[in-house]
Amino acid sequence: MNSIASEQKSTTNGNGHIGKMTLKDINSPKDLRQCSIEELNGIAQEIRELLITTCSANGGHIGANLGVVELTMAIHYVFNTPKDKVIFDTSHQSYTHKIVTGRRDKFPTLCKYPGGLSRFLVRGETEYDLFSAGHASTGLSASMGFAEAAKHKKADYQTVCVVGDGALTGGMAYEALNNMGYNQTDITIVLNDNKMGISPNVGAMYEYLKRLSEVTTDDRGRRAIGTIFEKLGFKYYGPIDGHNFDELMHHLEEIKHIKGPKILHVLTDKGRGVDYMQNDKATWHEHAAFDIPSGIAKAKLDKTKPSFPSIESIATSALIKLAEKDKTIVGLTAAMAAGTGMVKFGEKFPDRFYDVGIAEEHAITFSAGLAAEGMKPVASIYSPFLQRAFDQIMHDVASMHLPVRMLLPKAAITGDGWTQGGILDLSYLRIIPNIVVAAPMNENELHHMVNMAVQYDKGPIAVRFPKGQSSGMTIDSEFNEIPIGKAELLRDGNDVTLLAIGWTVQDAMKAAAELEKKGISAAVINARFAKPLDEEMILRFAKKTGKIITIEENTLVGGFGSAILECLEHHHLKNVDVKRLGALDGYIPFDKPENIKKSFGMAMEDI
């Protein structure tokens, strides 16, 4: 590969460019292929500067992307993209890919509303973007589909899957590897081994890869020993330095001519180039806007805005308080210790905390086993990620009335991509028998609901809530009992009933105050539960006012509002006008949450 690079002249390049090529000259991978190794190294540094500048202003997945600059450039250099297919798993590590495939000038719009670039890959955004993804461990299965399609169509393109950043902790990845090896699928897998997911990688596979990285290779980069990948039918190469263009291009050029399934094991450094990111990789996986010299979040530097703890940390604090007195409480998360606020629980109770990796299905059935033996498992998993474990909740938990407690942060319209908002859980959870589904109206009620969930022992229970900074409200020092299935009347009224669940109760209260100014008497009910419903209170106010507005930060399809309609139908209650407010059927766009809510007609003014 060195001979290929040396043929590129920095005075006059094959595309007619005169002089040394820099990032401003790169409008497509074709331009990259005209560069010398020296020029590529310079462009890689420019890309890092663009990544840091943009993410410091807008936020984003900075850590992983700083680690894959050279790797991404080398793939586009060696493979004939877009004819050859490159798929990223997970696609949050695709920023360099976006920059070198014609979106350099638009890249500063990353995470900006409206119309900015998504933090993830979106199929069809350009001809280089083949598969949308916001979750991990999907890329290998999708890539096998592309590769096998080439065989059936007798097409001559190659398929490359960049997998890593914790994706190999997910079970779906092994289903794909098993199938690829058996079918001898013609595919190149680039294993981006940065020893990290969102938090440090955990599990036997991580330890195995660590051992592999310490074993000497032969002069062609192949192992002196057998590997699990070779036993599965893959040709294995590496590990190699993922920041060295000579090594990357030499090996990529070699393996692209080899038929069948092959894996190139590449070692990269998450957060490369910024000391404070390399030293705290979990924090810098994804970060809000920050000050570049210090690494301090800009929100913390703004003294005009109060700094309050996160909502999820309030839930964790309540759990810690309970676990101090109850040694049967066990905390679990699926590679989201930092994001769910469970890091503190793990620090306090290291022997009672499990990070299972990106394996939501395993987390839930593992919890079922713990519950079956009298432990009190509390699994904290993002709402939009829990849907991966729907079958496990139904088959392994609810069918046996096992008391698995689930805390679901990010259950809200987030606006940061269709895979990142939790607007389906009220719908998909409430159809499962024997389950309790609850949502507090604020942080203080969340504090009490954590206690409620831990004490509930008749079956599974889920408590959903948004993620982000809390309001700073006072949290009660002691726990109050919240009876299962009991709503709370916050405001009496005669003309209309505002029946809200979760954080939307706050909007309902504001709307009721505005309605009072217009001479309309609105009752406000904090429903608390989507299952079981407080049917007595619902029916009483349905009869009293004859008008109900349901409000939920969930899809209207099968959600809380649908549950209210089912309740009225079941009790043969007619002549009640019902208006449901919530997310419309569809995937949530990338926009400010307040804009999305307005478009759905569910903002406070719409109520």
**Span 286-319, pLDDT tens digits:** 888 899 999 998 888 887 778 899 999 999 999 9
Percent of the chain with pLDDT over 90: 75
pLDDT digits (tens, 9 = 90+) for 247-284: 999 999 999 999 999 999 999 999 899 999 998 887 88
pLDDT, one tens digit per residue, over 130-151 is: 998 877 889 999 999 999 999 9
Name the one residue in this structure whose structure tokens are 């096992």.
402
Q: What pLDDT score was predicted for residue 434?
A: 97
Q: How far apart are CA 109 and CA 590, in angstroms?
A: 12
Residue 111 banded pLDDT, cuts 50, 70, 90: confident
Q: What's the average model confidence in pLDDT over 431-445?
A: 98
Is residue 589 classed exposed, middle or buried when 0-12, 13-18 and 19+ CB atoms within 10 A define those classes? middle
Residue-wise pLDDT for 44-69, tens only, equals 999 999 999 999 999 989 998 999 99
Q: Quote the pLDDT of residue 415.
A: 77
Dihedral (C-alpha) 493, 499, 503, 506: value to the nearest 10 degrees?
-20
Q: Using CA atoms, how far apart are residues 39 and 18, in angstroms rounded to an integer?
A: 13
More confident position, 184 or 297: 184
Over residues 321-374, the pLDDT tens digits come to 999 999 999 999 998 898 899 999 999 999 999 999 889 999 999 999 999 999
Q: Mean pLDDT score of the chain, rounded to an integer?
A: 91
For the chain, what is the radius of gyration of the CA atoms?
Answer: 26
Half-sphere exposure for 7 (CA within 13 Å, toward CB): 6
pLDDT at 347: 96
Look at 307 and 397; give whichever has higher pLDDT: 397
Residue 8, pLDDT > 60, answer no
pLDDT of residue 298: 86
Does residue 581 carry a pLDDT above 50? yes
Does the pLDDT value for residue 16 go beyond 70? no
The whole model's pTM is what? 0.86
The fraction of the chain above a pLDDT of 70, given in percent, is: 92
The pLDDT of residue 10 is 42
Catalytic sites, residue numbers: 270, 360, 388
Per-residue pLDDT of 61-104, as tens digits, reads 999 899 999 999 999 999 999 999 999 997 889 999 999 999 99
What does the pLDDT read at residue 373?
97
**Lookup: tokens for 389:** 């474990």
Question: Helices 37-58 and 69-78 meet at what angle, rounded to 10?
Answer: 130
- Residue whose C-alpha is closest to residue 177's, from 251, 227, 225: 227
Query: pLDDT tens digits, residue range 501-547?
Result: 999 999 999 999 999 999 999 999 999 999 999 999 999 999 999 99
**How far is Cα 111 from Cα 204, in angstroms, rounded to an integer?**
35
| Cβ atoms of residues 354 and 377 within 8 Å | no
- pLDDT of 82: 97
Decide if 242 contacts 37 (C-beta within 8 A).
no
Structure confidence at residue 2 as a pLDDT band (50, 70, 90): very low
The pLDDT assigned to 84 comes to: 98
| Nearest Cα to Cα of residue 278 among 48, 42, 94 | 48
CA gap 148, 283 in Å, rounded: 38
